[in-house]
Amino acid sequence: MSEEQIEEQILTVGREKPEGISNSTIQQLFPDIQPATWTKVMNKLLKNNVFELFKDQNELLYKFKDPSQKSTVKGSDNEERVVFKIIEEADNKGIWIRDIRFKSNLNMTQLNKVLKSLETKKIIKAVKSVSASKKKVYMLYELEPDSSVTGGAWYQDQDFESEFVDVLNQQCHRFLVERWENAVSQGGGPVLIRNRSYATASDVHKFISDLGISKVALTVEDMESILYTVVLDNKAERIINSSSLNLYRAVNPLLPSTGLVKSNCGICPIANRCADTGLVTPKVCNYLNDWLEN
């Protein structure tokens, strides 16, 4: 087998395994070929920036690099390559310019010039973060921002869609009530009726999807967030079954909802990410400040 054929097979496997391939994987590909032969080919691919070498749990892995990324950085100066690498490592959560400056050790004039150049080449993009409307985070151009940056389905142009969340809350509760009524109509003992009245987030997700009330694609995890607000409203209870799956059923509230539940914090689906530090904090939440002022 020629070196060209070996290279082609390594490239094929590398594309199929984005998590990386190990020396043992390559050895299995070429059991009848001396390791020195395919090692020579692998070193050539590393030198040509086709693969990158990294360590995972004390094992060396070769990770195939996307040609589109490689070609966009090729020919850039050293400062652009440094900044590109920093932004690439931030993945789809992005990184603030302050952190880029700290890691790159560039002054603001140099950094702004590099960022503008990379944006013009459509290598990176700036995305506004819901945690701070006046701040932007940078990420690779082709990436979809993480929900912690955009706010997920509950934000539109950085505005929290409280009415949308309220509608979903009502419809989720409606589904659980109908599930309970259907369980009662089927008869049986109280235990059987109770068990029949439980629903999973997947059940609710299908119901909401069939209604077509959302303009954005919602996930089962989104439904978990909304169902949790129904639980906080004392209109539903949540238990965990033997498979560690959350189950929900409608209940009659014993007490009226507390003031906190009616606040923005009480209905915020990403409240579990709120902390003293980080991208989501009470200090930078405009919606909490507006609610307190009113």
| 195-198 contacts at long range (C-beta below 8 A, 24 or more positions apart) | 197/249, 197/250, 198/239, 198/247, 198/248, 198/249
Dump strand ranges (E) for the chain.
21-22, 51-56, 59-64, 95-96, 124-129, 132-140, 155-156, 159-160, 236-240, 246-250
User: Per the confidence metrics, is the pTM higher than 0.75?
Assistant: no
**Sole residue written with tokens 């079954």:** 241
Domains, the chain, ordered by start: 3-65 (1.10.10.10), 69-150 (1.10.10.10), 154-293 (no CATH)
Backbone angles phi, psi at 88, to 5 degrees: -60, -40
In this prediction, residue 67 carries a pLDDT of 57
pLDDT one-digit tens code per residue, 61-86: 888 876 555 444 554 577 888 899 89
Helix axes 162-185, 220-232, angle to 10 degrees: 80
In this prediction, residue 131 carries a pLDDT of 63
Query: How far apart are the C-alpha atoms of 161 and 175, rounded to whole Å?
Result: 21
Cβ-proximal residues to 237 (8 Å cutoff; 6+ apart), any chain:
231, 248, 249, 251
Residues in the chain with pLDDT values less than 70 = 55-58, 66-76, 130-134, 147-161, 253-264, 266-270, 287, 289-294
The dihedral through the CA atoms of 173, 178, 184, 189 has a sign that is: negative
In this prediction, residue 23 carries a pLDDT of 86
Q: Which two tokens stand for residue 215?
A: 């303009």
137 and 146 Cβ atoms separated by less than 8 Å: no
Q: Which two tokens stand for residue 53?
A: 């070498």
